[in-house]
Amino acid sequence: MEIVLGSSSPRRKELMKLIGYEFVIAVPSINEEITESNPVKYVKTIVNKKGSFIANNFPTSIIVCADTIVVKNNLILGKPKNKDEAFEMIKKLQNNVHSVYTAVLIQYGKYKKVYVEKTKVYIDPLLDTEIEQYVNTNEPYDKAGGYAIQGIFGKHINKINGDYYNVMGLPINIVYKEIEKIKKGEIYEI
């Protein structure tokens, strides 16, 4: 059974390899503009769009798609577009708690499951000079909320409540269980 990862994220690719699966990558071309204010609805909408796009090209494959956002005070933070935006995002997140939501879609034929995982992340207080130093790296610019828990910024994360891999962009336990269910023939909606 071919597995298709519908993502351009290097972290999701790394996490799929960590689980131990061989897979191909197909990058969905969809509009990810934030028009929905409810974080769960937003990530579900985006992941369903990604899944539909990939399923059109790989109708007999196991499809894995995900979308991750950071939410602070009901404000959805996507990927920063520039240094100023990255600075403002980190400034909002520092010295407080925020939530990371990842929607994961697993699809095989007519079988489709969408899960939304939530993790709370606590960030230490930061000086403006520390934020400036961080945004001058290349790390913030392709990540929701402008940081990577597994990267340079990890030293500022005090604790998390929830799935570490969810914050990286792919809750691997969910993905593993669903793919194994499909491979063992435990689903019947093909």
What is the average per-residue pLDDT within 8-26?
95
Asked whether residue 188 is assigned to any structural domain, the reply reads: no
Instruction: Give me the chain's average pLDDT, please.
Output: 93
List the structure tokens of 56.
């059109």
**pLDDT tens track for 141-153:** 888 899 999 999 9
pLDDT at 190 > cutoff 60: no
**For residues 115 and 171, is the Cβ–Cβ distance under 8 A?**
yes
Q: Is residue 168 part of a domain?
A: yes
Give the residue numbers marked as catalytic. 67
Mean pLDDT of 121-135: 97
pTM (2 d.p.) = 0.92
Residue 189 lies in a domain: no
Give the single-character DSSP code of 49. Answer: H
3-class SS letters over 55-102: HHHCCCCEEEEEEEEEEECCEEECCCCCHHHHHHHHHHHCCEEEEEEE
Residue 190 falls inside a structural domain: no
Predicted confidence (pLDDT) per residue in 23-48, tens digit: 999 999 887 776 778 999 999 999 99
pLDDT exceeding 70 applies to what percent of the chain?
98
**pLDDT-wise least confident of 47-51, 77-81, 115-119, 127-131:** 77-81
d(CA 170, CA 119): 12
Structure confidence at residue 186 as a pLDDT band (50, 70, 90): confident
Q: Which domain holds residue 110?
A: 3-183
Going by pLDDT thresholds of 50, 70 and 90, the confidence category of residue 96 is very high
Which domain CATH number covers 151?
3.90.950.10
- Is residue 62 assigned to a domain? yes
Give the pLDDT of residue 32.
72
The pLDDT of residue 188: 61
pLDDT of 168 strictly over 60: yes
Range name among 27-41, 113-127, 155-169 with the lowest pLDDT average: 27-41
Count of domains for the chain: 1
**Does residue 115 fall inside a structural domain?**
yes
